[in-house]
Amino acid sequence: MTNNNFINVSAAVPNLALADIKKNIEIHKELISKAAERGNNILVFPELSLTGTSVGDLFLQGSFLDSAYSGLIELAKFTSNYSDLFVVVGLPLQVSGRTYNVAATLLNGEILGFTPKYKLNDYDTYQESRYFASLNLESEEIFTNDGHLFSYSPYTLCDKKSSKYVNISIVVGSDIDSPEVLSKLEQSKSDIIINPNVEAELLFSENTRREKITEKSADTKTAIISAYAGSGESSSHYIYQGAGIISELGENLVELKETFNNDDSLLAETLISLSPIRLSQRKTKAKLSSNYPTYSELNFTDPKFSRLETKRYPFVRTDDIRKFDKNNVDITNLYGRCINLQAAGLARRIKHIHAKTMVIGVSGGLDSTVALLVCDRAREILGLGKDSIMAVTMPGFGSSKGSKSNAEILAEALDIDLKEISIVPATTQHLEDIEHDINTHDLTYENAQARERTQILMDLSNKHNGLVVGTGDLSEMALGWCTYNGDQMSMYAVNSSLPKTTMRYLLNIAYYEYKDSNPQLAQVLNDIVTAPVSPELLPPDADGNITQKTEEQIGSYTLHDFFLYHYCYRGNSIADTFALAKANFARESSADKKEQSSYATPKGETFTESEIKTTFKTFIRKLYTQQFKRKASPDAIKVTELGLSASGDFQIPSDLNISIFMDEIDNL
């Protein structure tokens, strides 16, 4: 299988010998060999890596500059040993009698070109304009004396054996902070920005540096590979700590820093996914650059998925939704922030339509629990009493003892009155009216219950000047796992941008949030999270336990949400999404499967390749065949990156021919 949208990249943190070009060349060779042997296609060295940045007036000596260029030629020839590695190194370069701070690009024994630094820094003891010239951004492409391209033009690397390609722009040093440079980059539509850099180590600069690169990757809708010069630099005025930072679309993929007592050179490595970058860029309209890229060919190596941090729950950036750092403020605040956002949307709608009551069906399951917590928060925002929430539990043929009990305890813990209306008499009469055998437990039997519940909520809403609050989540929306004009319908949906696994994670946080202040609430939240997901439309067993378990029918929500993130949100292809799923979850056989919880994937849980493929096929089929339900869905508040609203987020026809997608999965 060919994975067309990944590329293995690296950033070097060499322990340089200041001004010792000969020794630095050997250090570069060692890192080039290491990067190539480890399957990288791109290797980035820091700014002025052949000489060091803090050599002062040596930059004014012609012999020193000539030595740097001779070293570059030697290094370029060395790259012929590794024909599939695109290398970027820094050096001072003389062009037409002026000296520039440049990044040189090397591939397969050749110098491809040079990119000069535009924004020169003059501050304190660091006076770049004393040594270097700046080239106008709008300058036409020019060539050095020996015919190498000298400009701000981008590069395109093409795979010799496929249609795969990657567009690259090079930004030297602090040019990454220049609005003029970034504006020009936007026109080039690069996938990757290469940033050879150097920055003195000051208090708090470590976090600032990482945050800057991560933020720039989000702003430019690219991946950024940044290599910072390190402790081999002079300590006459500053201390330098080398680092390799690689970010993609606002997410820090890897950060490798040298320690001050370590003399070894380092290599930061990761795997960049190109599809999400291109999806983000397709959503923007930018002018095309007037500079044509330099095209080069090489063999792209197979993706090293092991370099990616395992995140089986990508929506919440974690590998285990049952565990988290309780001292991490960002995590502990996640529950409150999410509930507040949902509640703010609901409160605004209640106020706008002058409703007096929030009407909500409470089953004792995951979705209705989150929605009820949202209603309680919206009530506080609006300054309303507890009677503004009409919580209704509607037991039916499949209601289990546990769910009914959880619904009652939840309402009691929140001090909300719970109204019970059994749907059994009305549904029994309805099935009799349409001449359906009540012992035939088919789709008609199940959907009749869901629609009866919706009818009750809608009529109560009319009676009490209320608004029916929808409880369905994003995972169900993606799969169409709801009854058309049943639980699919409400007047305002609050969970529609939250995947099932994210809601489990939120309630795990909420458990610790309420553990001391409201232990009754905390305990019932824990019971709800650990219960299997079920619509409870089929009769329970003799002991009143759930027999209908959703994940036994359609596959694990852990997998479905993984597909939802990587295929729908990140824009990865079917083949690439499948490859990522295998890298995160695959095991050899079903015999290797461990005992595991039915509610959440423990760290290390795996699936066979066949199980992953079967679940992925279910996901794709339902994603594209259930659009008619999404087109008839009510307004919904969006609080995460992804939504599937047919009016804005996911616009496809309801009668799309899906054979091309299913054939692609069959051929994986």
H or E element, residue 210: helix 205-220
- Tokens 């060999």 map to which residue? 33
Together in a domain, 388 and 466: yes
Same domain, 156 and 292: yes
The percent of residues in the chain predicted with pLDDT above 90, rounded, is 65
- pLDDT above 50 for 97: yes
Q: Can you give the pLDDT at residue 512?
A: 87
Place of tokens 């991560």: 214
Instruction: Assess contact for 199 and 46: CB atoms under 8 A.
Output: no
pLDDT for res 124: 64
How far, in Å, CA of 651 to CA of 62, rounded?
A: 62
The answer, yes or no, to whether residue 190 has pLDDT greater than 50, is yes
Three-state helix/strand/coil letters over 60-79:
HCHHHHHHHHHHHHHHHHHH
**Domain endpoint, select from 247, 276, 304:** 304
pLDDT value, residue 593 = 52
Q: Is the residue at 112 inside a domain?
A: yes
Position of tokens 């309209």? 285
State the average pLDDT for the chain: 89
Q: How confident is the model over 544-555, as a mean pLDDT?
A: 84
Given 280, 304, 328, which residue is the final one in a domain? 304
Residue 586 has pLDDT above 90, yes or no: no
CA distance 135 to 181: 12
Task: Count up the domains in the chain and report the number.
Answer: 2
| Residue 546 in domain | yes
- Write out pLDDT tens, residues 445-460: 999 999 999 999 999 9
Task: Check whether 290 has a pLDDT greater than 60.
Answer: no
| 85 and 179 share one domain | yes
Q: Are residues 203 and 352 in the same domain?
A: no
Q: What are 169-185's pLDDT values in tens digits?
A: 999 999 999 888 888 77
The secondary element (H helix, E strand) that includes residue 334 is: helix 329-353
Q: Do 340 and 300 share a structural domain?
A: no
Query: Residue 288: which CATH number?
Result: 3.60.110.10
Task: Tell which residue, 508, 483, 519, 503, has the closest CA to residue 561.
Answer: 503
68 alpha-carbon distance from chain centroid: 41
Burial of residue 85 (number of CB atoms within 10 Å: 0-12, 13-18, 19+): buried
Residue 458 sits in the same domain as residue 536: yes
Residue 2 has pLDDT above 70, yes or no: no
Written in H, E and C, the secondary structure of 475-542 is: HHHHHCCCCCCCCCCCCEECCCCCCHHHHHHHHHHHHHHHCCCCHHHHHHHHHHHHCCCCCCCCCCCC
* CATH number of the domain within which 365 lies: 3.40.50.620
Token pair for 535: 């619509």
Instruction: Examine residue 2 and state whether it is found in any structural domain, yes or no.
Output: no
Across 327-336, 492-501, 560-569, least confident range: 327-336
- Within this chain, do residues 33 and 128 fall inside the same structural domain, yes or no? yes
Q: Cα(290)–Cα(293) distance, rounded to whole angstroms?
A: 10
What DSSP string describes 350-412? HHHHT--EEEEE--SSHHHHHHHHHHHHHHHHHT--GGGEEEEE---TT--HHHHHHHHHHHH
Q: Are residues 127 and 166 in the same domain?
A: yes
CA proximity to 663, closest of 615, 628, 621, 627: 621
Neighbours of 517 (CB within 10 A): 8
Count other Cβ atoms within 10 Å, centred on residue 54.
22
Higher pLDDT, 295 or 223: 223
Asked if residue 310 belongs to a domain, the reply is: no
Query: What's the confidence (pLDDT) of residue 601?
Result: 43
Q: Is 124 within the bounds of a domain?
A: yes
Q: What is the pLDDT of residue 602?
A: 45
- Give the range among 384-388, 543-547, 552-556, 639-643 with minimum mean pLDDT: 543-547
**Type of residue at 326:** K
End-to-end CA distance of the chain: 7
Report the relative pairing of strands 126-127 and 122-123 from DSSP bridges.
antiparallel
The tens digit of pLDDT for each residue in 384-428 reads 999 999 999 999 998 887 777 999 999 999 999 999 999 999 999
Same domain, 347 and 463: yes
Looking at the fold, whether 73 and 186 belong to one and the same domain comes out as yes
- pLDDT of 481 above 90: yes
Asked if residue 494 is part of any domain, the answer here is: yes
Mean local confidence (pLDDT), 291-316: 84
> Does residue 312 form part of some domain?
no
Query: In 399-488, where do the E strands start and end?
Result: 418-420, 466-470
What pLDDT is recorded for position 282? 83
Q: Is the pLDDT of residue 648 over 90?
A: no
My answer on whether 157 and 254 are in the same domain is yes
SS3 for 142?
strand
Whether residue 284 contacts residue 218, with contact meaning beta carbons closer than 8 Å, is answered with no
Residue 231 has pLDDT above 90, yes or no: no
CB 296 within 8 A of CB 41: no
According to DSSP, residue 599 is labeled S
Report the C-alpha gap between 508 and 575 in whole angstroms: 33
The whole-number average pLDDT for the span 16-44 is 96
Which residue range forms the structural domain that includes residue 433? 318-590+597-667
Residues 292 and 377 in one domain: no
Please tell me the predicted confidence (pLDDT) of residue 328: 65
pLDDT given at position 345: 96
Where does residue 33 fall: left (phi above 0), alpha (psi -120 to 50 degrees), or beta otherwise? alpha
- Answer whether residue 477 shows pLDDT above 60: yes
User: What percent of the chain is modeled with pLDDT above 70?
Assistant: 90
Residue at 470 is within a domain: yes
Task: Using the predicted structure, report yes or no on whether residue 105 has a pLDDT greater than 80.
Answer: yes
The pLDDT of residue 413 is: 96
Answer with the one of 304, 333, 362 that is the final residue of a domain: 304
